[in-house]
Each structure stands twice: as C-alpha cells, then as structure tokens.
Amino acid sequence: MQYNYNYRLNPPEALTETLLHHVDTCRQLYNHVLYLLNEADDIPARYEVQGLLPDLKTWWDDLGDVHSKVLQMVVKRVYDNLSTLKAQKENGRDVGMLKWKPPREYRSLTYNQSGFKLKNTSGRPVLWLSKIGEIPIHLHRDIPENATIKQVTVKREPTGEWYATFGIDVDEATPEKPENPENVVGIDMGILTYAHDTDGYAIESPDFSEERERLERAQRDLSRKEHGSANWEKQRRVVAERHADLKHKRRDFLHKLSNHYAREYDLVAVEDLDAKGLVELPGNSRNRAGAAWGTFLRMLEYKCDREGTHFVSVNPRGTTKECASCSVSTEKPLWVREHSCPACGFEADRDANAAWNILSRGLEDIGVGHSESTPVETALPVDTLVAAKRVVEAGSPTLNERTASAVNE
C-alpha cells in the first residue's frame, strides 16, 4: 500500500540558501521547458525533453548543481500539469494555458528513486539529499520497517518552514473486506452538524471563528503595509502562519473523525458529493468551503481501504426527501430540520433520516440488502450531540470510560 509521511525539516542557514537556490533553478527549468513546448508545433514525448537535459547543462551551469533525478521530475511536473489542463478541457471547463511560475508559486523539489537517504548522525536523524547535504529532520513518527521510500518532496511553506514528504510503499497485504458486514453506518454530511450517522451521533462542526478572526485582522494589517517593504514581508509571514494554523486544526479534526469511522465499522456509506461544485453555488459558500467535505471523504476512503472496511459512495439525490421507513418522498425546505412522514408517521431528525437512506443505498450497492432493523426500531429517541472538541481531544466521538477520565483530568 502507498502512503505519504510528512516531517518537519530544520535546515541551518547555509543549507536554507542552498535549498532556495535549487528550488529557483528548478523553477527556471520549468519555465524553460514550458517555453520549448509552447514554441513546438507538436508536443514531443516527455522522455524526449528529458533527453535534452545533458545538452542544457553544457551552457546552463546552474543545472549542474541540481541532482539529475530532480531535473527529470521538473519536466514530469510540466507534463502532469498539461495533462490536468487537457482533462479539464475535455470535461467542458473553460481553461486557458499554463503560465510561467513566479518565485512565490514554485516552492518544492522532488527526489525520485535515488539521491536521498535517511541517516542517523551523532544520535540525531538527518535527511541526506544529493548535492545539498544533511538536513536535521523531526521524525515525530517512525516509518514502518517493511516500507520502501520511493520518493521525497522537499517543500518550503509560505510560513518559511521546510517539510519533507516521503512517498512510501508498505509491503503488507490489504485486509480483506467482510463479505457480510455486520457493524455498518451511514453518514450524512452537513454544516449545522458536520456528520450525522445512523448510530444516533451528531458530530458538531468545529468552531474556527476565533482563528478566522485572527486571520482577518492579520490580512487587514497586511493591506495597510507598502507592498514589498520589510514590514509588508513580515506581516505576510504572519498571515501565512494564521492560514497554516487554521489548516492544521481543520485537518486534525478530519483525520481523527475519519479514522474513527474507518476503524469502528465494517461498512461506511456516504454521499457521492461534488464538493467543488457545491462550493461554487451561490450563498453560504464560505461555510461549505470550510467544511472541507471533499478532503474528509478522501481521507475516509483511503483509511477504509487500509483497515479493510467497505467504503460505499451513493447517489445523494433524494436522500433528504425520502422517508427512511417507507420510501415516500416529501418536500422539505432547508429550514425544516425535522422529518415527519405523512404516510407512515415516522419522525426523526432531518439529517438522521438522510443517513438511514444513505446506509440503505450503500448496503444495496454491495449486494447486502436492507438491514433487518428498521430506522423506527433503532433510531435513538434523542440524538447524541458530540462536540468537535471532544473528537479532537479523544480522537473519536465515542469515549470509553478510561479515555473520558483522562480527558477530564
């Protein structure tokens, strides 16, 4: 199985200058390759362009300072971007052409297959990079012993911090998914409550209002600085740190919530949401973007694969209107938060009813069929509201006694 492990780097000042030089050389090569492709009548194969690199080094001295694999990955990056652009055009999107990269938009370099090594020097871990040297690295978690490091990407964040992302292959068998999953759950995503599941748990959306307010204050201060001045650059760093703080807290919540569902259940059913399309809809787009539904579903999917859990993405059409007990559809405006079926009398929270419909469709998709229990029999009379803070502190919305006592202490 393939994973990405991310670690903080602590390069000394001399190596920071070397890293910046390598990144900028890669940026210039990226722009040069893009220029060559724009001038060509027919776009050549990627390996033909990579074959030009030795000749470029004869007159472009800076290329000789950078590892050859890193230069090849720059060419690959151009072609990957072209492929993405082509796919968007084929999907009917109105897109333009690739643009040259200015310094602030190119901040990484990639070693593939060779040119890197994790070492232990004088009792501390370091990352050795060819033609750069040994960089102290903070290994906050161990890389599995049965893992092979295939690739390392070194990136400088807008905050000025450096990170290394290891692409690893873990030599382990993928857990088999149960043929007849017993412990199953359906999840309805929302804004008022982030997730509402069929076990009666409603997970509150995390409150990032304080972080957003700090970010907005920093952005207002930045707008008052003279662009490009020392004070502007100092405040730009503050804005970047505020962005990073908000991003890290959101991803921490999403990782822990998705990890809980992937580990605790045999099958997880969710809606096949067009997260990007939902954000582009008028009205309340900020809250929809902040919910990061697409990120959560991607995390949940790969973690379900890792844990041997069925991940089923169902058509979301009608899950809110349809009664989970008798399948009769009832129109409900957004402000109506309760489901009350005029046909069978089933009453439940609007999102709880949708979660049951999602689970029912998920079971059908894998050929299991409906659960023996009906929503009327199993739905909790009062849904359990779980605070987002509780998810972050415990790593799971359901606390056992031992974890609960540790949190209280």
Active site residues: 188, 271, 351
User: What is the torsional sign of CA 169, 172, 177, 183?
Assistant: negative
Instruction: Identify residue 356 by its one-letter amino acid code.
Output: W
Closest CA to 23 of 155, 174, 219, 178: 155
How many CA atoms does the CB half-sphere of 343 hold within 13 Å? 10
Angle at which helices 68-90 and 13-39 cross, to 10°: 50
Determine the Cα–Cα distance for residues 157 and 139; give it in Å rounded to an integer.
18
Diameter over CA atoms, the chain:
80
Instruction: Identify residue 157 by its one-letter amino acid code.
Output: E
User: What is the torsional sign of CA 390, 394, 398, 403?
Assistant: negative
Is 355 within 8 Å of 194 (Cβ atoms)?
A: no
H runs (alpha helix) in 292-333? 293-307
Residue whose pair of structure tokens reads 């009062």 in the numeric block: 382
Question: Residue 394's Cα: distance from chain center in Å?
Answer: 21
> What contacts 24+ positions apart, CB below 8 Å, involve 187-190?
187/261, 187/268, 187/269, 187/270, 187/355, 187/358, 188/271, 188/319, 188/351, 188/352, 188/354, 188/355, 188/358, 189/270, 189/271, 189/273, 189/291, 189/293, 189/296, 190/351
Is 134 exposed, middle or buried (CB count within 10 Å of its CB: 0-12, 13-18, 19+)?
Answer: middle
